[in-house]
Copies of this chain bind each other. A is one copy, B any other.
Amino acid sequence: MDDLDLIKDMSNDCVKMQKKFFSKGSIITTYIEKRRQICILLSGKADLIRYDFNGNKDIIDRFNANDIFGEAFYPVNTNNELFVLATEDCEVLLFLYDDVHVKCKNNCKFHASLISLLLELILNKVVHQNARIEILSKRTIREKLLSYFSILSVKSFSKNITVPFSLTTLADYLSVDRSAMMREIKSLIDEGFISKNGNKIRLLY
Taking Cβ atoms with an 8 Å cutoff, the residues of A that contact B are 60, 72-79, 97, 101-102, 115-116, 118-120, 122-123, 125-134, 136-139, 150-151, 154-155, 175-177
Q: Given the known A-B contacts A129-B126, A175-B137, are A76 and B118 also in contact in the complex, defined by CB atoms under 8 Å? A: no
**Residues of B contacting A76 with CB < 8 Å?**
154-155
Which residues in B have their C-beta under 8 angstroms from that of A155? Answer: 75-76
CB closest residue in chain B, given A122 = B122
Take A60-B134, A129-B130, A136-B175 as given contacts and tell me if A101 and B73 are in contact as well, using a CB distance cutoff of 8 Å: no
Q: Is the CB of A97 within 8 A of B75?
A: no
Contact of A115 among B73, B74, B119, B139 (CB under 8 A): B119
**What residues of chain B lie closer than 8 Å to A151, measured between beta carbons?**
75
CB neighbours (8 Å) of A175 from chain B are: 136-139
